[in-house]
Structure 1
Amino acid sequence: MHRKRVVLGVAVAAAAATVLAACSSGGSSSTSSNSSSSSGKVTLSWWNNANTQPLLGVFNNVIKQFETAHPNITIANVPMQNEQFKTKITPALRGNAPPDIYQQWGSGQQATQVQSGKVADISSDVSPWIGSLGTPATEWQTNGKWYGVPYDLHVVGFWYRKDLFQQAGITSPPTTIPQLESDDAALRAHGIQPIGLGSKDGWPDAFWWEYFAIRECSQSTITQAMSSVNLSAACFTKASADLDAFVKTNPFQTAFLATPAQSVPNSSVGLLANGKVAMELQGDWEPAAGAGLTSDKNFTSQLGWFPFPAVPGGAGDPKAVLGGGDGYSCTTSAAEPACAEFLQFLTTPAVQKQIIGAGAGLPANPAANSDLAVPAEQNAAAANAAAPYIAEYFDTALPTTPGQNLDNAVAKWFASPEATGSGITSSVTAPGYDAKHCG
């Protein structure tokens, strides 16, 4: 990790946490009062979205390894499909029986969850070792306290089929939006659908608008927008106009609005894995997700990666990336220090190697960077490492409700091409979010 590198979400999370803390009645959660002694046996329920191979198998093996080293701790694995998990976690945190460990994505979303009073402050347990994970791990701090730990990091960019590019006569990936549009036309001329998009699930749409915003807006403008929960700067309106113009070039596959993101073979990830589209703007989980959706187990040999192209005239740094990470939090019902011990175990180099080997993402522990096996992933990791800053996914950088409002507004815009981009930029302060009441 370069010392000069700035992770944008850090500032965003701190600002969002300040707003949230100021308007919450209880504010931060206390550390779990439960504890595990050297002789007491405890069981920890673990909610995660690793419900398919190979990560499902890796996590089951990791559990066995942890339980062998910690014979008094049992981990009850509860894997769920990603969208199902997101539907269940909010009511679980509001109820009386939340899971002991649950997956979350840090930053503003975590700050909102902390207000439930069900998320444990694990600072005293993780402070001795979490510094080794570097600056990105601070996305899992709220009000200066640790409420979670990352197990991987993510970067969003274009995954492409080298064989299909070659068929269309494309010798190198595009570096500007006009070049991308030209390549799209070349692919269509050769009977190849250019870009896959899983709009049925909504969230992949947001990557497109957010990247145009990152290219149009300066880092300081985005930081201010996320912290103030306000997208009124002119560059955001320009991003909407850019997206509108791009979509009108017909870059996506047929019926993209009805295509899911990654759950079935005819999802957008599956289309790329099976050579039905040439590209997809997606996170670095693409190779792992695609592996379970195609019979071609060597499809990753045809995968390449390139960053979102530059927007001519934009004020954003063309090397900035959109990303985030996956992590876990302990709830106040979890036995401690057992829960924190399991989160630490997930970040050890040996376990990180297994997780990264399953294609889960980039390692949270930089000591495992050399274990990325797919060349395209190495390119993504290099771009992530060289980025002047990382813009946290907007729906995570923002508090939960405005973040969801933004995702919904972008998805609604994709479904209604006659709509204007003003609905996107006004969505975070639309009815349904009141900053005074923390969303």
Structure 2
Amino acid sequence: MTRQRTGLKLAAALTGVVLLLAGCGGTADNGDTDDGATGGTGGAGTDGGVEAQTITWWHNSNSSPGKEYYESVAADFEAMHEGLTIEIEAMQHEDMVTKLEAAWQSGDTPDIYMERGGGELADKVEVGLVKDLTDLAADEIGTIGGSVAGWQVDGRTYALPFSMGVVGFWYNKDIFADAGIEAPPTTMEEFYAVVDQLKDAGIDPISVGAGDKWPAAHYWYYFGLRQCSEQVLSDAVTSLDFQDPCFIRAGEDLEELVAAEPFNPGFLTTVAQAGPTSASGLLATGRVAMELAGHWEPGVMQGLTEDNLGLGEATGWFAFPTVPRGEGDPTATLGGGDAWAVPESSPEIAVEFTKYLLSDEVQTGFAEQDMGLPTNPGANSAVSDPALADLLQVRDDAA
């Protein structure tokens, strides 16, 4: 195991401990949702004597092309299982998180949902709310391999990750070129020079959805990853002790960044992904030059432009820059992903559908639609977007 690989795993673990790792993936504007009852239900049977059954599926791909793709996936699975109906609710990410919290409180949960992992998952497992998929989905777990680590508790797997990637800066190549920026920055010194160049050109350098909190947290995560050694990070994951001086330096780095005023006006109330004035929308529509976000960003931006292309060929990506005085691996990458999980009360067919979502066929379509980076290696070659293809290589090199 290289230091870079260790850094990715520690970064993912640290993110889950310090704050909630955002399982952001999806797309943007609020879409129509089906407010039907949740929870798997059976019926008296169809005319042919086959028992009718309904399951519910919540996800955050609520605009094109993801929304339509998942509708077709559900229809295909229904066609393979006579009498089955899959009721889908496609929601904007933050709305989905809020609704899930309420569903857990009421006991009226969907049968398949997006699980963020970490401490939240461990809490659900402790009180028996989530199915153990270790044996039920052994083949799928074997296929996706180490990606499941973030959704394991005491060595057992409780969710199947369908997209895994890394966080970095997405930027508009055309804006960089117009501002005379010849190459993305690799150090914070170069980064601040780029910020100044963009300001001089009359361009807001960076958007951040601090109104939704989790996008802003990525900056502290990364400064901690750059400033702290692997051993310090590893110890902090288990001890929850963040008094090491490297964490103080990370905070000072963040203060310096904020003092440089690189963010869009009103960033403290800017939402992450909902609509053209969101952080993702500002980047997608050319009103800022870059945004720190995960592998989900191209798919989000596609849903925020009229042509459904986002930035298109102007999409670029670069890694978070190195920092002075850093004791961390300068190549370490902050990782995260999204996973499907099944509540304990859900019927067996919900597990079968979850397994189907990790199949070669579904993951290939997921990749072809540029919805994210698939965890099933059989779908890797289907990633067509050049920026995502490059990011896939970064992810796999750091895995």
Q: TM-score range by the shorter chain?
A: 0.7 to 0.9
Structure 1 counterpart of 2:201, which letter?
H
What letter corresponds to residue 386 of structure 2 in structure 1?
P
What does residue 203 of structure 2 align with? Answer: 192
Q: Distance in 2 between matches of 1:255 and 1:10?
A: 29
2:12–2:336 Cα contact (<8 Å) kept: no
Give the residue type in structure 2 aligned to 1:354.
Answer: G
- How far did residue 205 of structure 1 move? 0.5
In 1, the alpha carbon distance for the partners of 2:102 and 2:126 equals: 13
TM-aligned CA deviation for residue 218 of structure 1 = 1.6
Q: What is the aligned partner in structure 1 of residue 221 from structure 2?
A: 210
Decide whether the 8 Å contact of 1:307 with 1:383 is kept in 2: no
SS at match of 1:362: coil
Distance 1:11 1:242, change over 3 A: closer
Q: Tell me the CA shift for residue 11 of structure 1.
A: 9.4
Name the residue aligned to 1:170.
Answer: 181
1:19-38 equivalent positions in 2, closer than 5 A? none
Measure the CA separation in 2 of the matches of 1:202 and 1:328.
Answer: 23
Please, what is the CA RMSD of the aligned residues?
2.7
Cα deviation for residue 3 of structure 1 reads 12
Aligned to 2:295: 284
Q: Supply the distance in 2 between the matched residues of 1:58 and 1:47 (Cα, whole angstroms).
A: 14
* Number of residue pairs the alignment of both structures matches: 370
Corresponding position: 1:320 with 2:332: yes
The one-letter amino acid of 2:9's match is L
Report the 3-state secondary structure (helix = DSSP H, G, I; strand = E; otherwise coil) of the residue aligned with 2:274: coil
CA deviation digits over 1:38-96, x for unaligned, max 9?
Answer: x6543211122222221111110000111122224332112222111111222322333
Runs (5+) with no aligned partner, structure 2: 18-40, 43-49
**Residue equivalent to 1:401:** none
Deviation >6 Å, runs of 4+: 1-4
Equivalent of residue 194 in structure 2, options 183, 194, 211: 183
Return closer, same or farther for 1:3/1:230 CA change in 2, 3 Å cut-off: closer
2:134–2:141 contact (8 Å) kept in structure 1: no
Contact persistence 2:199–2:205 (CA under 8 A): yes
Shift, 1:12, TM fit: 4.3
What whole-Å deviation, never above 9, does each CA across 1:333-382 have from its counterpart, x for those lacking one?
A: 1111x222111111112211222233321101122111112111122222
Q: Tell me the TM-score normalised to structure 2 length.
A: 0.86
Partner SS state of residue 166, structure 1: helix
Cα separation, 2, equivalents of 1:386 and 1:163: 28
Q: Which moved more, 1:200-209 or 1:291-300?
A: 291-300
CA contact (8 A) 2:11 2:333 kept: no
Per-residue Cα deviation, 1:280-335 (whole angstroms, up to 9, x for no partner) = 10111111111121235442210100010011220111211112111111112111
Candidates 292, 311, 316, aligned match of 1:304: 316
Question: For the Cα contact (< 8 Å) 1:8–1:223, is it kept in 2?
Answer: no
Supply the distance in 1 between the matched residues of 2:245 and 2:129 (Cα, whole angstroms). Answer: 39
Contact map agreement 1:2 1:385 (CA 8 A) in 2: no
State the distance in 1 between where 2:292 and 2:369 align.
20
Matching residue within 163, 166, 180 for 1:152: 163
Structure 2 counterpart of 1:232: 243
Q: Is the 8 A contact 1:10 1:139 kept in 2?
A: no
Instruction: Name whichever of 82-91 and 207-216 sits farther off.
Output: 82-91
Q: CA deviation at 1:233?
A: 1.5
Question: Does the Cα contact within 8 Å between 1:306 and 1:380 map onto a contact in 2?
Answer: no
Aligned pair in 2 of structure 1 residues 291, 129: CA closer, same or farther (>3 Å)?
Answer: closer
1:381-423 CA distance string (max 9 Å, x none): 2221222x6xxxxxxxxxxxxxxxxxxxxxxxxxxxxxxxxxx
CA distance in 2, matches of 1:361, 1:165: 24
Letter in 2 for 1:242: D
- The residue type equivalent to 1:49 in the other structure is N
Q: Which runs of 5+ in 1 are unaligned?
A: 17-33, 390-439
Shift of 1:129: 3.3
Structure-2 separation of matches of 1:189 and 1:107 = 42
Match of 2:9 in 1: 8
CA displacement 1:130-153 (0-9 Å, x = unmatched): 111020122222122221111111
Taking the aligned partners of 1:129 and 1:150, their CA distance within structure 2 comes to 10
Q: CA deviation at 1:10?
A: 10
Q: Contact conserved, 2:4 with 2:333, CA < 8 A, in 1? A: no
Q: Is the 8 A contact 1:150 1:328 kept in 2?
A: yes
Could you say which residue in structure 2 is the equivalent of 1:106? 117
> Which letter does structure 1 place at the counterpart of 2:225?
I
Contact kept? 1:67, 1:73, Cα under 8 Å? yes
Question: Could you give the per-residue CA deviations for residues 146-194 of structure 1, whole angstroms, max 9, x where no partner exists?
Answer: 2111111131100011111111111111000110000110111111111
* Alpha-carbon separation, structure 1, partners of 2:347 and 2:165: 29
Displacement of 1:243:
0.8
Q: Distance in 2 between matches of 1:62 and 1:161?
A: 32
Contact 1:12 1:227 (C-alpha < 8 Å) held by counterparts: no
SS of corresponding position for 1:195: strand
Calculate percent identity across the aligned residue pairs: 39
Single out whichever of 287-296 and 181-190 deviates more from structure 2. Answer: 287-296
Distance 1:52 1:297 in 2: 9
CA distance in structure 1 between the partners assigned to 2:395 and 2:359 by the alignment: 21
Contact 2:121 2:151 in 1 (8 A): yes
Q: 1:10 to 1:147 in 2, by over 3 A?
A: farther
Label 1:249 to 1:96 Cα distance change in 2 as closer, same or farther (>3 A).
Answer: closer
